[in-house]
C-alpha cells in the first residue's frame, strides 16, 4: 500500500505545539503536585512518549529531503511509529490500573501482542530499505499500512476496554475519556480526507491531557500555595516508601476552622512569605479551614532547628498584628504513624489537650495517647457497625439524684462507660468526643437508653419506686431524621412509659441547632419525655432562647456551686437565677454537691434536686436499688405512722 503526500501537506507547527505542551505539562508537574502512584508513573511515561513522537516526526520531515540523512530519516520514521504505538500500550495499562480491572492481564497481553507484531513488521520493512521516495512534488510513502492497521486495532481495543470497565469508572470520567477519543478520531479522519499528516501525534496528546485534568490535577491554593489533605497523605506515603525522614509543623487556628471564615489576605501573604523564604523546598498542606501542616525533608535541612526558629521569628509578628489564637505542633516523622498515614488525626488528638496560643513538641506520650484513641475508635466503629443494643462493651452507670422536697432518691442520671478488652474501663471524656466526631454517638445513645429502660423495667417489676432516669444526648444527634422515632421505639419496646425517661441537652449557639432542638423537644414531650438543660452556667447562655425551649429542669453546673461557696456576689447571682427559674415553674438541679455545706447552701438557693459525690459516685445502674425506695417498704412505713 502506498500513499502520496506533498511536503505542503505536513507542517511542523502542530508537532512543535504538541512538544511544547508536553514540556509545559512536565514543568507544571515538577512545580506542582501529583500523586506518586503507579498510575501517575504510567501517565508521566505517556507524556514523555508523546514528546518523543512529536520530535521524531519533526526530525523525519527535516532530514528526509537531505540525501545523506535519508537512512537516518528512515529509522526515525520507525522510531516515530514505535513511540506512537507504545503510547497505546501505556494507555491501556493506565485504564487497567486506575479501574483495577480484573482481566487486566488479557488486555495487556493483547496490547503487547499488537505492539510486538506491528513493530516487528515495521522493523523488517525499514531494514529492507527506504520506506519513502523523495520526488520534486513531495514524498511517496511505501507500505505505510502497517502503522494504520495497528492504530485502528489499538483504537478498537481501547473502546472495548472502556466499555468493559464502564461500571468501575465514575460516569463523568468515563464520558471524558470517550469524548477525547472521539475527538481524536474525528481529527484523524479529517486529516486523511485532506491528505494531511500534521496532526497524528496531537490525536494521542488529547487523551493524555484529559488524564492530567481529570485524574491527576491537584491545584495549589493561589494565595497560600497549599495542597489539600489528599496530597499530604500521598506525600507521606511516598516518604515512607522511600524511607525519607521529615519534619512537620502544624498551625491550627480555631477561629477560622469553626466559623468558616477566610484567613485575612495579609496573614496569608505572611505565611506564604516565610514558607517561600525560610524553607523553600517545603510543602504546605491545608488540611482544614484553619489548619495547615508544613512538611520538609530532614536531609534537605540539616539545620532544621534553626529553620524552625526562623519560622517562629516570622510568625510571631503576624500574631502580634492579628491576635488570632493558635496551636502549633512540631515533630519528626515516625514510621508507626507514617505507615498508617495518620498525621492529621495524630495532630488533632494532641490539639485536644493543648491550651490556646501554645507550642507543643511531639514526645513518646503523644504516641501512646494517639494509639489509645485509635484503639477506642476501632472499638467504637465495631459497636456502631454491629448495632447491638445489648453490646457488653457499653456499660450503663448511674448517679442517684436527691429530691429535696421528698428526701428520696427518686430520679437519677444514666452515665456511660466503655469496658474494652485492652484498656478496661474507659471514661466519657476519653471517648464521647471521638464518637461525636466520627458519627457513632447516636448508636451509643441508643444502647445506653435501651439499657436504662431495661433497668427501669426491672426495678418497677421488683417493686421499686423510680420516677425517671435522665440520659445525655449530643446536639448533633438531633440532626438525624430518625432521632425521635428511635427514642420512642426503644422506650416502647421496653414496656415503660415515656415519663420514666428524661433527656439532657446542652444549649447550642447555632441558630439551626436551636430550631432543630425546639422541634425535637416538642415532638418528644408529646410522649411524656422530660427535658433537662444541662451545664447551665458554662460558656454561652442566652436567657431568651432558654425561655423559648420547653425544658422541665435547669441543671446548674458544678462551677456555679463552687463559685457560690467562695464568693457572696456569685452566690447572690446564682440564687437570683435559681429563684427566677423556680418562679417560672422550672425545677432547679444542682450538680457537684460534695459536702454538707454545699447541700445546705443549695437548699437555700431554690434547689429542687441535688446530685453529687456527697450522695454517690457513678456506679453500675444495678446499684441504684440501694438508693431508691420500694413501694411495699413505703406502705409499711405509712402503716406505722398511722398506728
172-228 confidence digits (pLDDT tens)? 566 777 788 788 878 878 877 777 777 888 888 888 887 776 666 666 665 677 888
**Residue range 477-483: average pLDDT?**
90
Of 3, 83, 82, residue with least CA distance to 49: 83
Query: What pLDDT, in 10s, does the model give residues 402-419?
Result: 999 999 999 999 999 999
**CA distances for 567 relative to 540, 559, 563, angstroms:** 21, 12, 6
| Residue 283 CB coordination number (10 Å) | 20
Q: What's 537's DSSP letter? A: T
pLDDT band at 436 (very low <50, low <70, confident <90, very high): very high
Residue-level pLDDT at 556: 94
Q: Which residue has the higher pLDDT, 5 or 451?
A: 451
- Residues 592/617, Cβ–Cβ less than 8 Å: no
| Residue 187 CB coordination number (10 Å) | 16
Q: Which residue has the higher pLDDT, 36 or 368?
A: 368
**CA distances for 57 relative to 18, 45, 83, 546, angstroms:** 11, 18, 10, 78
Question: Residues, the chain, total?
Answer: 643
Check whether 143 has a pLDDT greater than 60: no
Check whether 538 has a pLDDT greater than 70: yes
By the 10 Å C-beta count (0-12 exposed, 13-18 middle, 19+ buried), 570 is classed as middle
Question: Interhelix angle for 38-63 vs 70-99, to 10°?
Answer: 160
Mean pLDDT score of the chain: 87
By the 10 Å C-beta count (0-12 exposed, 13-18 middle, 19+ buried), 209 is classed as middle
Query: What pLDDT, in 10s, does the model give residues 631-643?
Result: 765 554 554 445 4
For the ranges 132-146, 304-318, 463-477, the one whose mean pLDDT is highest: 463-477
Check whether 475 has a pLDDT greater than 80: yes
**Coil, helix or strand for 487?**
helix
Round to whole Å and give the CA distance between 278 and 311: 7
Round to whole Å and give the CA distance between 554 and 502: 12
**Coil, helix or strand for 288?**
strand
**Residue range 55-72: average pLDDT?**
88
**Residue range 50-62: average pLDDT?**
92
**Coil, helix or strand for 229?**
helix
Q: Which residue has the higher pLDDT, 278 or 243?
A: 243
Strands (E), 339-475: 358-361, 394-403, 411-420, 424-426, 468-472
pLDDT band at 541 (very low <50, low <70, confident <90, very high): low
Of 358, 278, 282, residue with least CA distance to 326: 358
Instruction: List Cβ neighbours of 56 (8 Å cut-off, separation of 6 or more).
Output: 76, 77, 79, 80, 83
pLDDT band at 539 (very low <50, low <70, confident <90, very high): low
Query: What pLDDT, in 10s, does the model give residues 304-319?
Result: 999 999 889 888 888 8
pLDDT band at 118 (very low <50, low <70, confident <90, very high): very high
| Residue 38 CB coordination number (10 Å) | 12
The residue behind cell 508513573 is 41
pLDDT band at 458 (very low <50, low <70, confident <90, very high): very high
Query: What pLDDT, in 10s, does the model give residues 575-633?
Result: 999 999 999 999 999 999 999 999 999 999 999 999 999 999 999 999 999 999 887 65
Helix (DSSP H) and strand (DSSP E) numbers for the chain: 23, 18
Of 33, 26, 25, residue with least CA distance to 231: 33
- Residues 329/348, Cβ–Cβ less than 8 Å: no
**Coil, helix or strand for 473?**
coil
pLDDT band at 144 (very low <50, low <70, confident <90, very high): low
Query: What pLDDT, in 10s, does the model give residues 31-41?
Result: 666 667 788 88
Amino acid at each position: 500500500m502506498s500513499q502520496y503526500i506533498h511536503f505542503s501537506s505536513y507542517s511542523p507547527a502542530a508537532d512543535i505545539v504538541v512538544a511544547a505542551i508536553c514540556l509545559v505539562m512536565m514543568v507544571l508537574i515538577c512545580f506542582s503536585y501529583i500523586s506518586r502512584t503507579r498510575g501517575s508513573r504510567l501517565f508521566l511515561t505517556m507524556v514523555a512518549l508523546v514528546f518523543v513522537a512529536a520530535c521524531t516526526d519533526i526530525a523525519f520531515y527535516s532530514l528526509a529531503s537531505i540525501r545523506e540523512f535519508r537512512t537516518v530519516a528512515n529509522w526515525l520514521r520507525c522510531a516515530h511509529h514505535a513511540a506512537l504505538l507504545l503510547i497505546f500500550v501505556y494507555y491501556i495499562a493506565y485504564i487497567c490500573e486506575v479501574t483495577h480491572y480484573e482481566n487486566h492481564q488479557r488486555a495487556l497481553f493483547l496490547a503487547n501482542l499488537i505492539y510486538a507484531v506491528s513493530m516487528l513488521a515495521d522493523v523488517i520493512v525499514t531494514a529492507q530499505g527506504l520506506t519513502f521516495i523523495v520526488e520534486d512534488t513531495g514524498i511517496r510513502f511505501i507500505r505505510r499500512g502497517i502503522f494504520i492497521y495497528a492504530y485502528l486495532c489499538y483504537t478498537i481495543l481501547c473502546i472495548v476496554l472502556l466499555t468493559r470497565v464502564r461500571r468501575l469508572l465514575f460516569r463523568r470520567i468515563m464520558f471524558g475519556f470517550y469524548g477525547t477519543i472521539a475527538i481524536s478520531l474525528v481529527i484523524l479522519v479529517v486529516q486523511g480526507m485532506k491528505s494531511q499528516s500534521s496532526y497524528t501525534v496531537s490525536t494521542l496528546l488529547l487523551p493524555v491531557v484529559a488524564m492530567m485534568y481529570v485524574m491527576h490535577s491537584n491545584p495549589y491554593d493561589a494565595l497560600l500555595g497549599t495542597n489539600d489533605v489528599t496530597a499530604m497523605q500521598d506525600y507521606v506515603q511516598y516518604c515512607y516508601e522511600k524511607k525519607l525522614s521529615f519534619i512537620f509543623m502544624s498551625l491550627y487556628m480555631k477561629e477560622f476552622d469553626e466559623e468558616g471564615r477566610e484567613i485575612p489576605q495579609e496573614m496569608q501573604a505572611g505565611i506564604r512569605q516565610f514558607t517561600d523564604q525560610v524553607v523553600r523546598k517545603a510543602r504546605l498542606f491545608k488540611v482544614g479551614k484553619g489548619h495547615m501542616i508544613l512538611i520538609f525533608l530532614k536531609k534537605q535541612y540539616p539545620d532544621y532547628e534553626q529553620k524552625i526558629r526562623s519560622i517562629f521569628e516570622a510568625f510571631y509578628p503576624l500574631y502580634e498584628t492579628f491576635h488570632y489564637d493558635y496551636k502549633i505542633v512540631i515533630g519528626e516523622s515516625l514510621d508507626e504513624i507514617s505507615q498508617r498515614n495518620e498525621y492529621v488525626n495524630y495532630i488533632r488528638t494532641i490539639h485536644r489537650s493543648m491550651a490556646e496560643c501554645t507550642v507543643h513538641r511531639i514526645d513518646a506520650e503523644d504516641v501512646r495517647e494517639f494509639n489509645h484513641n485509635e484503639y477506642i475508635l476501632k472499638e467504637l466503629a465495631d459497636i456502631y457497625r454491629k448495632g447491638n443494643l445489648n453490646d457488653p462493651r457499653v456499660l450503663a452507670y448511674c448517679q442517684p439524684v436527691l429530691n429535696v422536697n421528698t428526701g428520696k432518691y427518686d430520679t437519677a442520671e444514666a452515665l456511660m462507660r466503655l469496658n474494652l478488652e485492652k484498656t478496661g474501663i474507659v471514661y466519657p471524656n476519653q471517648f464521647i468526643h471521638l464518637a461525636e466526631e466520627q458519627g457513632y454517638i447516636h448508636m451509643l445513645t441508643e444502647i445506653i437508653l435501651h439499657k436504662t429502660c431495661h433497668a427501669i423495667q426491672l426495678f418497677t417489676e421488683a417493686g421499686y419506686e423510680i420516677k425517671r432516669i435522665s440520659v445525655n444526648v449530643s446536639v448533633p444527634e438531633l440532626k438525624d431524621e430518625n432521632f425521635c422515632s428511635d427514642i420512642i421505639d426503644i422506650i416502647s419496646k421496653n414496656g415503660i412509659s415515656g415519663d420514666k425517661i428524661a433527656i439532657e441537652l446542652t444549649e447550642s449557639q447555632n441558630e439551626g441547632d436551636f430550631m432543630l432542638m425546639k422541634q425535637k423537644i416538642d415532638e418528644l414531650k408529646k410522649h411524656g419525655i422530660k427535658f433537662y438543660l444541662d451545664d447551665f452556667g458554662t460558656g454561652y447562655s442566652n436567657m431568651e432562647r432558654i425561655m423559648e425551649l420547653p425544658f422541665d429542669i435547669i441543671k446548674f453546673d458544678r462551677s456555679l456551686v463552687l463559685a457560690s461557696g467562695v464568693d457572696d456576689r456569685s452566690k447572690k447571682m446564682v440564687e437570683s437565677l435559681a429563684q427566677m427559674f423556680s418562679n417560672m415553674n422550672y425545677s432547679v438541679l444542682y450538680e457537684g454537691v460534695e459536702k454538707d455545706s454545699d447541700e445546705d447552701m443549695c437548699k437555700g438557693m431554690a434547689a429542687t434536686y441535688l446530685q453529687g459525690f456527697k450522695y454517690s459516685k457513678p456506679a453500675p445502674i444495678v446499684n441504684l436499688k440501694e438508693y431508691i425506695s420500694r413501694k411495699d417498704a413505703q406502705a409499711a412505713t405509712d402503716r406505722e405512722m398511722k398506728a
